[in-house]
Structures are given as structure tokens and as C-alpha cells.
Structure 1
Amino acid sequence: MPRVTVQLTLPPDTPPGTLFLTGDHRAWSDDPTGWTFRDGVLPAELPDGLLAQVKVRRVNPDGTTTEEGDAWGGRARAHRIKVRGDTTVSLTVAGWQDASGGAARPTRSAPPREETVLDAPWGAQSVRLWWPAGHEGPLPLLILHDGQNVFDEAPTFAGDSWDAAGAAQALADAGHPVRIAALPVNDDRSRRYVPFPFELNGFDSGADEYADWIIGTLLPHLHARFGPVPAQDTALAGSSFGGLITAFAGLRDPGTYGTLGVFSPAVWPADFAFLRWMAGRGDLHSRVWVDMGDHEGSSMQGAQEVITLARDLTAQLAPHVAEARFTVGEGHWHDEPAWRERLPAFLRWWRGAGVAGGLFEHPASRSGQPI
């Protein structure tokens, strides 16, 4: 296996402790054995072609463990490692997580214009709303899952957002204003977004309940507040498990959404049950966008397999929908920065404003032609 040398650069105020490397290549283990840095250097043997997201953690003198963070004490984005032969990887730790949770972190992206709370079977559901100034009446509507990650960085998991307001403002400036309703989710995400019972939702899916709530509560509320929006101008979108629930809800309830944004769909739960469930389902009035980054996997080979899976999913859908488009994000990993980069192209495609920049585009037609 290739020999990889990992070199650390630490902030000057790093407390004493044992530093070690963890990541998805070792299931984010807290055991430092075999992965400890000595004088800021870690020699390791890693599989060729490995794609790994890693972080540095510190075992403190009292036995507790602290993970690296951003410069404000909040969570930090994982470092990315791609192994191609013997190599040296340099990692810079910006800071360490603390009790503040990054409260002082400056915001890079615009927050929602308004936040409201609606009743839901699972409790109070926040709805984060944005629309361009000067457009107070009915507008094409985009409903986004994982609403904690799509506007400003403050509520995000690791300090990165989709910058949905920035992308939508650019679209409005080009003459295509839209309204966004983003739905934050908590630790119940796997239950709400995965429509099949599996380990992470305790074998108790709540996806039907969630999809019913969008149709029965959210849409009537928004229509009453801002004016009715026809189905052809209503879009549903999300990433990973959010992409899965988007595809499920759209195919489950044909005629409800004119456009589905299926970003990096995670279709693996319950032994790929979604692929069996979707067979023959469709909506001849709906357009579907499916995408995937070319670094979404544990290895370069695995990433190509995921791309093939998403491309095949799109091809299966193509005869059963009005339009299906598959795109690949070059150099994109499975994270918010990648979805932030692909969102503007999706918005332009949704509103008929064209698609350009940074993506390999593969339109599919209802004739089922290869993509």
C-alpha cells in the first residue's frame, strides 16, 4: 500500500494532549492506537485510490477527547485526503471546539428573511423563508430539506451552507424570482427522510408522515399566506437522504411537484429498497434533476460506482417523467460546499434560465435514450 505522511500545523494555543487522526476510513473511531502524531507527523499506509474525510482529535490529560474545530470554537469541515501513490498530506488545524459552539463565527451567507413555526405530528416544525425584496405576491416555490444548512452558516453542522439566498437572489436579478421554504431537521433525520425501515431509523420510517405533512399543512399554509402556486411551479429538493425523500415524495404523489431536485441521493438503506420501490413509478408532468459528485465514495472506484448508480437511476426514470437530467460535479465530495456549487445550475434549469458552468451535463429524454 502507498505510504502516506500526514503533517500537522497547529494553532499556537493548542492545549497539551495526545493528537491522533480519525475519519471515515476508520469509522470516526476515538481510539488513538496506531494513528497518533509524533512531533506533528503521522506515517501511515493507506489503500491506493482511497477517498477519506479526516479530522484531528486530542486526548486531554483528564482522558476526555476534543475534536479540532474552526477558529471560533465551532465544528470544522473535515479535511479531504485522496491517495494516489506515496504522498505527503499537510493538515492545518484552525482551532479546537469549545463550549461556545462557534457562536462568534461570522456569517458569510444571507439568513432567511423570516422564520415561522407550524404544528407537525413530530412537534413544532420550523419553516425558514426567503424571497427577493419587492416580490410579495405568489412566486414559484422551492421547498428544501435540511433547512438548517441552506441559508446562513450559524445553524449548520460544520460551518458551511448552500447559500440558497445568494443563489436565488442571482436568479431574481436575472428575471426569475422564486420563494424558498427550508425545513430544518434534527436527530430524527433518518426516520423522517428514509422511507424504509433500517438501522438508523430504528426500523420505523416516518417518511410517509413527513410527505403527508408537506402536502396537508405546509403547502396550504404557504398558499394562504402568499397566494396559490400551481404544481408546475412548485419544486422539492434536497441532498443525500434529503435527495432520497425528494425522489420518494415526488414519485409517491404525482402531480404535486413540477420539479424534483435530487442531489447526491443516498439510496442504499434497506439494501437499496428505493430502487425496487421506484420501478415503474413516475410523473409525466414532472421534471427530475439527479446529480452526483465524482468524489462521493470511499475510493475512486467506489465514487465511479456511485455515479453509475445515479446515472442508471436517472435512465430508469426518464421514460416515466417529463424530463430527466443527470449531472456530475467535477471534484465534488458529499458535502455542503459541493451542493452550494451545484444549486445555482439547478435553479436556472428549474426556471428555464439555462444551465452552465462546472458540471458535466447529461440530459435524458422520455424515450429512454442512454445518458
Structure 2
Amino acid sequence: MKTKSNILFLFILCVLFHISITGLYAQDNSNKFVVVLDAGHGGKDPGKPSKDGYKEKDIALKIALEVGKELEKNPDIKVVYTRKTDVFVDLFRRGKIANEAKADLFVSIHCNAHHTQAYGSETYVLGINRNDTNFNVAKAENEVIYLEDDYEKNYEGFDPNSPGSFIGLTLMQEEYLDQSILLASLIQDNFTNSLKRKNRGVKQAGFIVLHQTIMPSVLIETGFITNKQEGPYLNSSKGQKEMSTAIEKAILDYKHTIYQNIDNFVYQESKVVALENPKPAEIYKNVVFKVQIAASSREIELKPFNFKGLEDITRDKINGLYKYYYGYTSDYNQIKDFQQYAKSKGYPSSFIVAYREGKIIPLDEALKSTTN
């Protein structure tokens, strides 16, 4: 009887240990920056054609896997793939994967094609653009839905051939447009400055795969597989490595910019030291000054341990970003003291912002107003 009790005790202990470890693992993942990499096309959908036999679906997959391999070297980043092999994935399913992962970014990787010797890289965000070229690029990508079962049901009557169908696409992504444009710009800058690729710019078009996501999202056309020089480059190990490195670096730069001053911090109790010779008050009528210390696409609990011991933190959501502020005063000299203190606590890039009637105004405009 005693033996059975011991076995039961050990079993319960193992279960509790497993639950504890699982909980810790889940908590660790929840704090990670999640990037969903979407290799365009796949399986029965080869993507854009090339007379030289280059396959868009293969090139896109190899670049996506290489980007992911490098990103996964960062312990605070979790990578999710919409596909890791040559399989067909419905467009709506790609977005669902990203949404279920609660991703911070969705990056869809493709190759371009044209009947001329067009070349260069371009990155798209979701938007309505009357430009026929942009519409045709999106149309070519969106026609993949015809390969899907029940596409009429899954896309509620969306017609890739009708410009009118695109009007409703931007509503879901509107909140993340600024962030999507930021990432797209970083990607294009890397292609241009690091790889000396022709920059075809950041563009807006109605890509259905971007419409399915509820986070900052971009679609990269890495280059033209129909171009005599660019096709072989994109199909080569060297080209795929260089393109993936440029994309990876842009994602890391984006993360650093968006997660401005947000990091893991062990809270230690501290006291504010009063200034020995405080400056006279410099009060501005109808103006409130704050110190912006951080920005994040995630909502962070307003506790001192999340902000290096700083108390009385406030938060605003602006264009899809949560911005965090320290201090609240109409005294400009006092807010400068708050800024210096924030810098001493580990926020070297903190800066002063001004509000009038609840709206942010340029700091120089606030300082031109009358003091008491």
C-alpha cells in the first residue's frame, strides 16, 4: 500500500512539474516579438512564370526560411511560418495563422515578373491606389484564390478583376498603416543601400493576403525572375542569402524602433532626489508637457517594474502604437528635470512632447505660447 502511495505521489509531482514548466514556457513565449514569415504561393500554385524555369514558389520559400533561421538566433523573437515546405496554403489561412499567433509582424515574400526586362525590388502595404500597375500586381497575386475550395465563401464575393472590390480592403489595416510603411521603408532602404538593388519604392495596393491580418503587414516583391540578370541572382544561393539578410536586418531595425526603450528589467526600489537649486517655474498657459520614454505595439501594464522604477506612467494609443509618458506639468523647467531623471534611469532617447486641449502639438509651437 505504501508503494502505491509513493508511486501516486511521484506521478502527481511529475504532473505538477510538467504544468510548471509548460506555464513558464508559455509565459516566455508571450513576451517574445512574433514575426510571421509567409513564403508566397506553393504546391499547385507555382507563382509567376519564368522562361528560364525559375519558380517563384521555390525562391520565396528559400528566402523566407533563411530570414527565419537568422531571426531565430535572437532569444526574444519567435518566428512562425505559413509554410516550410512546397505545399499550397489558402490566402485566408495565411492570415489566420498570423492572427492566431498574435503576431507583431506579417511579412509575405514574393518575386515579380513582366513581359519586358523590368527589374528592381518593391514592397507593398495594403491600400487603395488608382495606379494601374499596382492594381495589376495585386490582381496577379490575388487570383490565387481561384485555386482554393469555396473561395466565394471564404472571401465573401471578392473579385480580383474588379477595382471596386478593393475599396473595403483597407479598413482592417488602416490602424497599422504607419507601422507597415515604416517596415516597408526599412526593407527598401536595405535593398538599395546594402545590396545596390534598384529601388522601385514603397507602394500601396489591394493584396487580399494583407487584408486578412490584424497587425503591421507588408508584401515584398524581391525582384523580377523574368529579368536576365535579376532572375539568376534571385535563384542563386548568394542572391537569396543577401536578400534574406537585408529583410532580417530591416525587421530587427523595425523592432528596435517600435519597441523603443522597452526591455526586460528587474525593478529596484529608488527615490527621487530633489534638486538643490531648482529653477524658477516657467508655466505655459493651456499647455501640458510630458516626457515620452517608450513606444510599443503592445499594451504594457503601467507598473513601475515595467518602466525601470518610474512611477505615474501614462499611456496613449496613437496610430496603432502605444506611447508611454513620464511626468505631467505645465512647467517647462520642471518637465526638463523629469526628462533628465528619465535619462538617468535608462531612457537616454526620451524626449519632451506638448499637449494642448488633449492633442499633441509641436514643442516649438507650445514654447511660442505665452507663459504666466
**Counting helix residues as a fraction of each chain, which structure ranks higher?**
2
Output the TM-score relative to the length of structure 1. Answer: 0.28
Compare CA radii of gyration and give the structure with the larger one: 2
Output the TM-score relative to the length of structure 2. Answer: 0.28
**Which structure would you say has the larger RCO, counting Cα contacts within 8 Å and 6 or more residues apart?**
2
